[in-house]
Structure 1
Amino acid sequence: MFIDIPSELETALIGLPLPTWKLDSSFLTQATMERYRTELTATPRFKETAATLRHALTGEVGGYAVLRLGNLAKALGTDRFLRLATAFAAEVAVPFSPFPRWPLWKDIGVKIDKDPGKSSGIGYNAFHMDLVNATRPPDYTTLLCVRPDPLGGGPSILSDAHAAVARLSENSRALLAETAYHYGTFFDLHGVGEEYKPFPILDGSELEGFVRFTAKMLERSQLSQAHADAARELAEELIRGQVSFMLQPGDYLIVNQRRFLHGREALHSGQETVPVTDRRLLLQLFLRASVGVGSAA
């Protein structure tokens, strides 16, 4: 699931004249996507690299991928590198921001005074899907590593949601398919449908539907004992099947939300001693699959 960029492609990408992107509402415009694709497909070995990426995300055993863009991050300035990362994302689906008040790429830094379990907190960020309570969650969530935790903590964790569900009892799966779960607030969002409350955790087809799960619902939502127990059983199976790795500068993680859930181990203790400008920093971008397509662009 880790994809290295061939050296001849890296060399060509360093000199690629990608323009600044344009948005239609909060979505990358078709014209921008076409321009990016035209520029990229003219470079050596790009088509096979893009095909490898799409297969890693949508193949039978796929669901996530990490593009190793570290050399390009070093060679390009911030603006040019973000254009390139956006262009790679556009080969998968349509980049967009569901948050009108934030830019296309959203900063996820480290705030020591924030809820430790949040994405910008310092504690364990348990398995979840992003925008779990929207009727149309992003099909893909992506994280671009600018800086890892300088103290060595915070590895990413991922788990195959459908494989975890398959290991549950029939009774638990039946409970998870009931419209009995809820979590979070819903306001000032764009491109993700309406608020879904309550919702089923198992939502859609057995292999491609969303597994609408966030472990935070176990502590912060009022659930019946039976529904909570079923969700807790799923949480245990997600942990049982998890993979873990540390993102390095320039690594670009793309997660197919219809297949995998994600999270993060706790950052290393002592974050208060790290200057804000040196703390872990990720940039997040969401992707919407083409109309009528579940897990492929």
Structure 2
Amino acid sequence: MFIDIPNELEAALIDLPLPTWALDGSFLTKATRERYRTKLTATPRFEETAATLWQALNGEGGGYAVLRLGNLAKALGADDRFLRLATGFAAEVALPFSPFPRWPLWKDIGVKVDKDPGKSSGIGYNAFHMDLVNGTLPPDYTTLLCVRPDPLGGGPSILSDAHAAVARLSQDSRALLAEPAYHYGSFFNLFGVGEEYKPFPILDGSAPGEGFVRFTAKMLQRSELRQAHADAARELAEELVRGQVSFMLQPGDYLIVNQRRFLHGREALRSGQETVPVADRRLLLQLFLRARAGDDSTA
């Protein structure tokens, strides 16, 4: 699931000036996507690399990928030119958009020592979840671009195959998870993710191995659930941990997760974050993707 960029493609991308992107609402415009694709497909081995990325995310047994863009990040810095290249790769997968009108296309996820430790910008364990779990149309893909890892060596990413975890549950637990009994979080000032879904089922009634597994471990502590439903969700949480993979993102690594297949999270950062200058702390940039109409990538 780790995809290296061929040397000849790296060399071409370093010298490739992509235009500034434009948005239609919160979505990358069709014109921008077409301009990016025209320029990128003219570079050597780009289409081959994009096809490898697509297969890792949507092929049998796939669901996530890490595109190793570290050499490009080193050559260009984490500036607009580099972000345009990352956006161009993302646009080969699906439609880039921001569900948060108050944020730009790419959202910063830094480290705040006074934040709830379990939040994405906190310093503690960020348990398995899908992003925008309580929207009727969650992003089909969530992506994280590593600008800086934790300089103290903590915070590896964790991922788990949600459907494989569900398949290991008892039939009774799966039946409980299919009931619209779960809720989590607030829902306001969002774009492109449908309406608020409350309460929602964790299993959406799709055939086994398909559809979203609408899960966030945070609801076990922050939502009032009937005991039976909480126990079923807790059993799923344990199976997700049992099947997890973990790895440390390096500068320039671009993690893309198919939310219809995998859930994600993060181990705790190393203690001592308050001693690290804010400008040196872990920093990720997040971008969301919506599958194109008629796209069979999530089937």
Partner of 1:173: 174
Matches within 5 A, 1:272-291: 272-291=274-293
Q: Which secondary structure state, in structure 2, belongs to the residue aligned with residue 252 of structure 1?
A: strand
Checking the alignment, whether the CA contact within 8 Å between 1:202 and 1:210 is kept in structure 2 is: yes
> CA separation in 1, counterparts of 2:178 and 2:297?
20
Q: Which secondary structure state, in structure 1, belongs to the residue aligned with residue 49 of structure 2?
A: helix
Matches within 5 A, 1:83-122: 83-122=84-123
Runs (5+) with no aligned partner, structure 2: none
Q: Which secondary structure state, in structure 2, belongs to the residue aligned with residue 287 of structure 1?
A: strand
Aligned pair partner of 1:245 in 247, 250, 258: 247
How far 1:208 moved relative to its partner?
2.2
The AA in structure 2 aligned to 1:127 is: F
Q: Any idea what the Cα deviations from partners look like across 1:29-51, whole Å, max 9, x if unmatched?
A: 00000111111110111111000
Partner of 1:43: 43
How far 1:294 moved relative to its partner?
5.7
> CA separation in 2, counterparts of 1:159 and 1:203?
18
Q: Any idea what the Cα deviations from partners look like across 1:228-268, whole Å, max 9, x if unmatched?
A: 00000000000000000000000000000000000000000
Partner of 2:63: 63
The AA in structure 1 aligned to 2:14 is: I
Partner of 1:232: 234
Are 1:124 and 2:130 counterparts?
Answer: no
> CA separation in 2, counterparts of 1:209 and 1:13?
35
> CA separation in 1, counterparts of 2:296 and 2:268?
32
Q: TM-score, normalised by structure 1?
A: 0.99
Report the count of equivalent residues: 297
Checking the alignment, whether the CA contact within 8 Å between 2:260 and 2:298 is kept in structure 1 is: no
Partner of 1:9: 9
> CA separation in 2, counterparts of 1:122 and 1:204?
35
Q: TM-score, normalised by structure 2?
A: 0.98
Q: Any idea what the Cα deviations from partners look like across 1:258-285, whole Å, max 9, x if unmatched?
A: 0000000000000000000000000000
RMSD over equivalenced CA pairs, Å: 1.0
Q: Which secondary structure state, in structure 2, belongs to the residue aligned with residue 192 of structure 1?
A: coil
The AA in structure 2 aligned to 1:252 is: Y
Are 1:258 and 2:264 counterparts?
Answer: no
The AA in structure 1 aligned to 2:81 is: R
> CA separation in 1, counterparts of 2:138 and 2:205?
13
Aligned pair partner of 1:215 in 205, 214, 217: 217
The AA in structure 1 aligned to 2:73 is: A
> CA separation in 2, counterparts of 1:132 and 1:162?
16
The AA in structure 1 aligned to 2:252 is: G
Partner of 2:197: 196
The AA in structure 2 aligned to 1:9 is: L
How far 1:292 moved relative to its partner?
4.0
How far 1:296 moved relative to its partner?
5.0
Stretches of 4+ moved more than 4 A in 1? Answer: none
**What fraction of aligned residue pairs are identical, expressed as a percent?**
87
